[in-house]
Amino acid sequence: MNTWTRSLNAAGIRELQQREDYDAQRRMVSHFRRSSYVAAQMLLPQPMLPHVVAMTALMDHGDNLLDTGPKDVRTEQWAAWQQQARQVLEGGTSEDPLLRTLAHTIKTYPRLLRPVEEYLSTAEAELHCTGFLDEAEYQAYVDAYSLPAFMLVAALLGPEGDDGAYRAACRAFIDGSQRLDFVNDIAEDLRDGRLGIPVRTLEHHSVTQEDLAAGRGTPAVIDLLKHQVNEARTALQTATTLPRLTPAPHRPLVRAIVELELLTVEAASARGAGLLRGSAKPPLMRTLRLLLGARRKARKGSCPV
């Protein structure tokens, strides 16, 4: 019996259709987020794994709908899917396996209803985003889209009664992670005609979007990229408080997620102007060592805070 099958059993997901629904989400998440899925499989308590997979699949599906294809098509697809999701939240049925897993996971963890409703209410910010004029616009985007999307999973891993400290640490993490994504994926974003670095930040560094699109590794461009990576690092270092605010069973995974992002920061820093040609990834062996070390600590029950 493999880990996934044991996790479904431990979560009480025994009806054949439900198992197939959750398995469909596992295939998608393990394909598109391989490192994250491996980390969750290694570090989460088995009963929690299927539900984290389901909420991650929800986040990824929404991102794909909002961010892929012509805007008029995205707008229509998002509106239709959002309506289906709301019907399921109100107790309706669905032909969509993802929405069926969502309904079952919320039934198991009712505290997820509010984060899902918040996400559905604000995620359209991603649909209309083509870039940012200044830091204030970027921060508004984090509040409207990045944080609600992250809380789909983070609310499941976090404390049931959050006094605000956990959400604040989640925001610091997703601020750093989003900044890192925007600088690390700059080559891909430029090809898609979108840039996540605010216009005012470009102007401050005397860099134009054309400089970036042309791959000009000038001192000004290098300084801009270094600044963006350092901003991501600062936010992520602030988020190192997140694990100790997380319930002990989920702490190893949350700690590993933060540390994996910090490894990616170091890889992006080392890549420098090479980011204009493609994303940076942390060395595979360092990633494996991090995850194996986290699993050893979790098994000993000695994950430090």
Q: What burial letters (b/e) apply to 96-123, b meaning 16+ CB within 10 Å?
A: bbbbbbbbbbbebeeebeebbebbbeeb
Q: What is the pLDDT of residue 301?
A: 65
Whether 39 and 161 map to the same domain: the answer is no
Q: What is the pLDDT of residue 265?
A: 97
How many domains does one find in the chain?
2
CB count within 10 Å of CB 80 equals 11
Q: Provide the 8-state DSSP code for 31.
A: H
Phi first, then psi: give them for residue 247, nearest 5 degrees: -55, 145
Q: pTM for this structure?
A: 0.92
Residue-level pLDDT, tens digit, the chain, 305 residues: 688 999 999 999 999 999 999 999 999 999 988 888 999 999 999 999 999 999 999 999 999 999 888 889 999 999 999 999 999 999 988 999 999 999 999 999 999 999 999 999 999 999 989 899 999 999 999 999 999 999 999 999 999 887 799 999 999 999 999 999 999 999 999 988 889 999 999 999 999 999 999 999 999 999 999 999 999 999 999 999 999 999 999 999 999 999 999 999 999 999 999 999 999 999 989 999 999 999 988 887 644 44
109 and 190 both lie in a single domain: no
- Are residue 79 and residue 208 in the same domain, yes or no? no
50 in Cβ contact with 7 (< 8 Å): yes
From residue 244, how far is each of 41, 148, 152, 248 by CA, in Å? 21, 21, 19, 8
pLDDT at 220: 97
Same-domain status, 252 and 211: yes
The verdict on 300 and 252 lying in the same domain is yes
Q: What is the CATH number of the domain that holds 212?
A: 1.10.600.10
User: Do residue 193 and residue 212 come from a single domain?
Assistant: yes
* Pick from 261, 257, 262, 263: nearest CA to 243: 257
Domain limit, last residue, from 78, 105, 126: 126
Best CA proximity match to 168, nearest among 181, 156, 183, 150: 150
Confidence (pLDDT) at 176: 98
Same domain, 77 and 204: no
Q: Of 111, 126, 141, which marks where a domain is finished?
A: 126
What residues make up the domain containing 256? 129-305
Confidence at residue 305, expressed as pLDDT on a 0 to 100 scale: 42
Please tell me whether residues 136 and 109 are part of one structural domain.
no
Same domain, yes or no: 297 and 251: yes
Q: Which of 102, 126, 150 is the last residue of a domain?
A: 126
Residues 76 and 180 in one domain: no
Asked whether residue 220 falls in the same domain as residue 271, the answer is: yes
DSSP 212-270: HHTT---HHHHHHHHHHHHHHHHHHHHGGGTGGGS-GGGHHHHHHHHHHHHHHHHHHHH
Q: What is the residue whose two structure tokens read 């629904």?
A: 21
Residues 111, 243: one domain? Answer: no
